[in-house]
Structure 1
Amino acid sequence: MTGFDRILMTTGAVVLALIWVLPLAYAVWTAFHPSEYEARFVLGAPLTLENFVKAWNAAPFARYFLNTFILVTGIVVCQFVLCTLAAYGFARYRFPGRDILFSLVLLQLLVMPDILIVENYRTIGALGLVDTIAAIALPYVASGFGVFLIRQTFMTVPRELDEAARIEGAGPLTILWRVYVPLAKPIYLAYGLVSVSHHWNNFLWPLIVTNSVETRPVTVGLSIFSTTDSGVEWSVINAATLMTSGPLLIAFLLFQRQFVQSFMRAGIK
């Protein structure tokens, strides 16, 4: 790589970083300063938490956060269980139609979820689950990407470990739980962050399938600030946005190294 190539790549990285950082910096600035400082940067401007107080009082965020926590936790647990069982079957067992079934799993990755909204809504309506947290979670309790990712990891486990466990009298589920799952912990961490991030930020499907405060997640609750009659208060909106996205940012900063290393181990580029 020549010096010019490095300069070009560094410049591109800096430009992309600024494109990502500047909106976040603006949101942080306006959220922690009075509304009169929304459009101007002044050194020594007073800091305030008033915008966060207004945002918290403008909507039942405690309920929204509880709904979101229940939603993402339930989805991740179901995905871990179902994707693990499917991945183990595809990685270690030979049965008729295995390759065809796995191709169908990969085909699911090519289908945009928005295409299935109408049919999913009809199914949820037929089950009588409209306006429930279960209605939001049901279409996502299994994941083709999760099956693929965990299968790739399980295929790297030496078969000698299976044989050693069988000699000790372990059954298939015991082998899966005691041998495969512990070796795949970094992958579960990476996939868990991806899944939580996606379902924490999901907006369209929860908006369509919920009607009440008791079932709405935090992303749908955040939309109340775009329909207020009192005018747009960007400082309050940005404070609410930071409250909504803050947990994800903190989680990624805490686990970013494990997140990147996990995908590298799985061979995902």
Structure 2
Amino acid sequence: MATINELEQAIKPVVVRRRHIPLSLLGWRIAGYLTLIVAVLIIGLPVYWTVMASFKETREIYSLPVTWWPAKPTFNNFSAAWEAAPFGRYYLNSFITTFFGAGIEVILALFSAYALAYLRFPRKDLVFLLLLAALMVPTEITIVPNYLTVARLGWINTYQGIIIPGAAIAYGTFLLRQAFMAVPHEILEAAHVDGAGHLRILFSVVAPITQPAIVTMALLSIVSKWNEFLWPLIVTNTTNMRTLPIGVFWLRNSEGLTNWGVVMAGSLFLIIPVLITFLFAQRAIVEGMTAGAVKG
């Protein structure tokens, strides 16, 4: 028969020792959080200032000490910016150039990436090497030859003059090619056995599997076309053909240093559509950026 001491020992709660995090690991974790906070501040403060300044009066923007919240929020800057420049026309031009430019870019990237991933043709490795080399060429180097070509075709101050020179980029092809290479070959062989051709395989097999990467590439293209400034500035010469970034630039140029609230409000016209796009597609962006990183 068990003694009292044995019963007490049996009913004592089991003490679970807490696992202590090593000091070195804790230090690295704190350093990581501090770095993340600094990065968020560096990136977020200009955006925050832009938003807050768009609701401030000009006098408050120049006042010291700096106010981080509008004393008397006003929406007059937005109406003043909209009336100071034809933003309706700017939006139309930006939507047209972005939609068709990004659409053509995605289609060309799909076909070229499929060819580099699955087709056999002479000098395939050399073509891929040239593709990688094109990633290292700054866009500014191609401006002069592109402009001369567009001028000879009579495309100055036209939509095709803005869209066609940037209709294909090496980065999109490289990103999709890496995603296509991660597709199991057994699936492709099964499709070949069933009699599917290359177009059927691309759009019915490869594209659905690599959808996150395609969406990511499309979003990157959309943001790039929407924010493009230098090429549309060079190839257009009338107000009716300007896009939003150029419109904001001319708004700043006309306002000078007298009314930064209006300029900041005009900048929000450019930022808000891109921000909304990223909010709705952020999950696809993360999945697409990691596609092909690990093969199962």
- Please state which band the TM-score falls in when normalised by the shorter chain: over 0.9
Corresponding residue to 1:236 among 262, 282, 288:
262
Match of 2:178 among 111, 128, 152: 152
How far has the Cα of 1:58 moved from its partner?
0.6
Q: Cα offset for 1:74? A: 0.8
- 1:185 and 2:208 correspond: no
1:17 is matched with which residue?
40
SS in 2 for 1:27: helix
Deviates further, 122-131 or 29-38: 29-38
Which consecutive segments of 4 or more residues in structure 1 shift more than 3 A? Answer: none
Name the larger-Rg structure. 2
Q: Is the 8 A contact 2:112 2:173 kept in 1?
A: yes
Aligned residues: 268
SS at match of 1:177: helix
Describe the superposition over 1:93-115 as per-residue Cα deviations: whole angstroms up to 9, x where unpaired.
12210000111111110000101
Once the two structures are TM-superposed, the CA of residue 34 in structure 1 deviates from its matched residue by 2.8
Rounded to whole Å, the distance in 1 between the matches of 2:258 and 2:162 is: 29
> Which stretches in structure 1 are left out of the alignment for 5+ residues?
none
Alignment-mate amino acid for residue 41 of structure 1: T
Report the alpha carbon displacement of residue 164 of structure 1 after superposing the two structures with TM: 2.1
What residue is the counterpart of 1:76 in the other structure?
102
Q: What are the residue-to-residue correspondences of 1:216-227 with 2, within 5 Å?
A: 216-227=242-253
1:87 CA drift (Å): 0.8
Q: Which residue of 2 aligns with 1:120?
A: 146
Whether contact under 8 Å (1:86, 1:147) holds in the other structure is yes
Structure 1 position 174, deviation (Å): 1.0
Q: Look up the equivalent residue of 1:76 and give its one-letter code.
A: A
RMSD: 1.8
Return the alpha-carbon distance in structure 1 between the equivalents of residues 171 and 280 of structure 2: 23
Partner of 2:78: 52
The 1:182/1:229 distance shift into structure 2, 3 A limit, reads: closer
Separation of aligned partners in 1, 2:118 and 2:291: 19
- The counterpart of 2:285, out of the listed 232, 252, 259, is 259
What does the per-residue CA deviation read over 1:150-207, in whole Å, with 9 as the maximum and x for residues that have no partner?
1111111122222322333322111111111111211111111211111211111111
Query: Structure 2 regions of 5+ residues with no counterpart?
Result: 1-23
Partner residue, 2:187: 161
1:73-152, aligned counterparts within 5 Å? 73-152=99-178
The normalised TM-score by structure 1 is 0.93
Matched with 1:66 is 92
Identity between Structure 1 and Structure 2 (%): 37
